[in-house]
Amino acid sequence: MQLEQKEKGNLGWDEVLKWDLATLSQALHSRQLSPTELTKVLLERIETVDPNLNSFITIMSEQAMMAAAEAEKSIMQEVIKSPLHGVPIGLKDLIYTKGIRTTMGSHMYKDFLPSYDATVVTKLQQAGAVIVGKLNTHEFAYGTTGDTSFFGPVHNPYNPAKITGGSSSGSGAAVAAHLCYGALGTDTGGSIRVPASFCGIVGMKPTFGRVSKWGVYPLSPTLDHVGPMTKTVRDNAIMLNVLAGYDEKDPSSVNLEPEDFTLTLEEGLQGYVIGVPSTFFFEQIDDEIAARIEQVLSIYQRIGASVRPVDLEQMDSILQAQRTVLSCEAYATHRFHLDKEGWTTEVKNRIQTGEAVKAFEYLEALEIKKRAIQSFNKVFEQVDVLLTPNTPVLPSDIYEREVEVDQQKTHIFSVLNKLTSPSNLTGLPCISVPCGFSSNGLPLGFQLTGRALNESLLYRIAYAFEQATMKD
Distance, in Å, from the CA atom of 236 to the CA atom of 230, rounded to the nearest integer, reads: 6
Identify whether 471 is a catalytic site residue: no
* Ranges assigned E (strand) in 180-326: 182-187, 202-205, 225-230, 273-277, 306-310
Please say whether the dihedral angle defined by the alpha carbons of residues 369, 375, 376 and 377, taken in this order, is positive or negative.
positive
Which residues have C-beta within 8 Å of that of residue 425, sequence separation ≥ 6?
223, 318, 321, 322, 325, 368, 369, 372
Distance, in Å, from the CA atom of 224 to the CA atom of 209, rounded to the nearest integer, reads: 9
Rg (CA), the chain: 21
**Which listed residue (167, 375, 432, 456) is catalytic?**
167
Angstrom distances, CA of residue 457 to CA of 192, 263, 264, 270: 19, 10, 8, 13
**Which listed residue (55, 106, 169, 191) is catalytic?**
191
Is beta strand 408-411 parallel, antiparallel or unpaired with respect to 443-449?
Answer: unpaired
Phi, psi of 158 (to 5 degrees): -90, -20
Identify whether 92 is a catalytic site residue: yes
| Helix, strand and coil in the chain, % to nearest 5 | 40, 15, 45
Distance, in Å, from the CA atom of 148 to the CA atom of 398, rounded to the nearest integer, reads: 9
**Which listed residue (55, 92, 106, 369) is catalytic?**
92
Which residues have C-beta within 8 Å of that of residue 282, sequence separation ≥ 6?
290, 293, 388, 389
Distance, in Å, from the CA atom of 94 to the CA atom of 128, rounded to the nearest integer, reads: 21
DSSP lists the bridge partners of residue 131 as 89
Kind and range of the H or E run holding 432: strand 430-437
Mapping DSSP onto H, E and C, the string for 306-324 reads EEEEECCCCHHHHHHHHHH
CA triple 236-445-160, angle to 5 deg: 95
Distance, in Å, from the CA atom of 400 to the CA atom of 281, rounded to the nearest integer, reads: 23
Identify whether 167 is a catalytic site residue: yes
The CA-to-CA distance between both ends of the chain, in Å, stands at 38
Nearest to 93, CA basis, from 106, 107, 104: 104
Distance, in Å, from the CA atom of 370 to the CA atom of 141, rounded to the nearest integer, reads: 26
Distance, in Å, from the CA atom of 447 to the CA atom of 267, rounded to the nearest integer, reads: 20
Distance, in Å, from the CA atom of 284 to the CA atom of 405, rounded to the nearest integer, reads: 6
Catalytic residues, by residue number, are 92, 167, 191
